[in-house]
A and B are shown apart, each in its own frame.
Chain A
Amino acid sequence: MYLQSPLPLGNCGTRLCFPYEELDVSDLNDWTPRPWLALQNPSEAVTRPPALSTEYTTKTKRSEAMMADEATRRVFPTEPASHLRPRSRSVKSLVSTPESSFWRTFRSSTLHPSYLHLPITSLSFSPNSSLLAAASSTSVRVFSSLSLSEYDPTLFATLPLPDLAYSPSFRCDGALIAAGCENGAVRVFDLPNDKPPKTLRRLNAHSCASRVVGFPLLDHKLRLFSAGDDALFVQWDLPTETPLFSVPGAHRDYIRAGAPSPVSPDVFVTGSYDHTVKIWDARVNSGTSSVLSINHGHPVESVLFLPSGGLVATAGGNTIKIWDVIAGGKPVYSVETHNKTVTALTLAKVRDDTRLLSVSIDGYLKSFDFSRFKITHSMRYPAPLLSVAFSPTGTIRVVGTNNGAMYMGIKKKKDEFEDQVGSDDFAWSVPLPEKPTSRKNIRYFKRGQSEKPSEGDFIIKRPEKVKLKEHDRLLRKFLHKDALVSVLKTQQTTSIMAVLEELVARRKLIKCISNLDNDELKLLLSFISKKATQPWCARFFMDLAKWVLEIRAEDIRSGGPEMAVHVRNLRSMVAHEIQVQRSLQEIQGMISPLLVIAGK
């Protein structure tokens, strides 16, 4: 008459409360019954004649009985009550993302190309070989063999320049290199393998420092563009050393940044200290006016076309901005994560994606995912950074500082994608279609395993396997003394506390103490003498120390000088603690009348 309502949950019983644990085969091996002798426990042998093996049998039986445990029931490792854990002040550990793990695979090294501690103003990788050009002081140094095995890159060549060198740039086939100079000259060198480099062309048009020199990215080997502090922008025809397209007064201030377009050999972008970024098209010969002008808002230090050719990234002040040039210079996104001026930008290939790397005077290198508009990683260097380069193979990352040091990161192990990138410039290469996996391939069987759950998916987690430590395993086998010794050796106070508490709960602590041999007793005594007066465990350890001294008095007396040292330590510690308590009582005596008065 009372039960009109629908049925309750029913007999959910004990088993619904915890997830099933999978039975591990290795654990089963642990449990297999073994002959009695194998279990001879020296600790227990001290007290019991070996003939009476009933204790062993019960112990083994129980550990065998425990074996059936796992399948249905959860296992609790011994853990200290949390009030016994000292409060840690450690900072929350950094979150590990796939991106950060990628950057962590780089092994870093430092090298000083010159001993003058002059700033490295520009860095550039050859598109098809592992050559690295670094502009520092009056020369451009070209390094080679930046391979995994060798830390020290060998100096491949030094390109002589009459004054401070700027902006080395490799041609798309890597055969030529061009560099600007403080006096305005632009020189083009060849890079033969066995001979010293030879100056092929000298291009003289700039009256001030030619800060920006660049070959077009596309396969147009006879052109070069340069820009400089005289606000002149020139596109050169190399064989004849004559300017094809020249814009005097392209900006109203120094031009400090420029980049070729990845989609057209005739389109360039320049950035200047007059806060503007201008886009030039050599096919449109309309005098001094640019195709497009964008105001960045700060003196522009670096500009870059993003791989699509439709977006431009500009860096100036401490902001990086992304513009849509096809839409007429519409700002797309602005990043303000650096604290000081952003000095250089480059593109980096991170696994399948492309990232925009930026370096700044504040010493940070940041990786920006421009598809999601998110900073994905940041690295700190000990000096202001001026330049950055990332190898087209995606294995080397170099940053140049203002004190002449170069920080290099070389990827430790080869990625699968490395070989595919090949000689093409990484940024605008279309990733190869994925190989169809055959049944012979291990990937065929593992396909879909790395699939990430989407928003609405219901995730069923595999129950976590409880990791048992050495002392836990011994406790599960009822080898109490061994567990105590093994945990004492770890020197971890909280674990030791946990094991001691568990032993108390099993009524085995006193027996354990009486079974310890002399070395193990020393271990325990040294631990007690260190920790006995710590407030969070004092009550326990005071009693424990009393018992240890009482039970093992004879062993301690005959234990030799080492034992005596521990006991002396303990005594001095107790004496000190008594003193502390006394002074605390004095303070309490002083404070309590005040509190009583305050209470009234």
Chain B
Amino acid sequence: MPRLASTQQSCWDAPLFSMAYVLHIILLLLYCDTIHSGQSLVKVIEEPTVLSPQTIQLLCNLSDIPNNPPTVTGYWTKDGQEIENSKEAVNRNNDQYIFKKTIQAADVGNYSCVFRENDAQVTFVFDAPVMKDKRDKPIVSYIGDTVVLRCTLKNTPKTWNWYKVNNTEKDLINVTVSPLKYNIVIHQNVTKLSVLNLTEADAGTFICSAEFDIKSIESYLELRVLSLLEPLKPFLVIVAEVIILVTLILVWEKCKPGQDHNTATTENVLYTEQTSKLTHSDSNGMETTTRQRKTEQ
């Protein structure tokens, strides 16, 4: 039976952590052995993660109570709710009041010891490990392709299971039943589910479940299956736009300044000279005047 108590005397003024932060802690135990009056303290220390069934003893040590009464009453709460029959009278022991509780490792939750006299409390948090590589965006794949869904965890669970959500029900994925469809590979703390030959029906939510003795941890993965037409639609729209624009530009250019070219090439050379004098813009004026001088000579 692992004992957590240590004889640290000081308890630092850690502010109360928010619940959101606490949930991210991987099975850490919070422990504080000396509570000063009027403070609620949450202290974090790394302990080996408790993954197999065992009993754990929580210990709260209260000191520095004014008047030093012979007994103080305290009770334990789990997840904010008072545990029945947990109220106890704690006897003084050399100016300290030691309050203990024994729990099973499987009973995960937040345990707090609360002392009536000065409302001091300490929260011990038991929580499950969190999945790494959490994907909040759906995994996308195409019909006929193979997709690999992956879950990793810091610790190695006893076993991994994959489920497919089917209208709020979980269906276990059994590789032996459908070997052509699914393939599961497990490498200790990593598991991969390969879904072969995707169809539209395969789209949906998949659950990878890491089974421990005390609890199983789940992570959700969403799969979206697209048909090959999906990216083809915007592509064809763009191709159509390109063809239209190129045609428009070339036609516009042929029609607008094209008349000058046509008249020049089909006419007599001398007449060409005269029209070129009249129709050319200023940028060609230099060449035109040069040519004029030559013909005049």
Instruction: Judge: A and B partners, yes or no.
Output: no
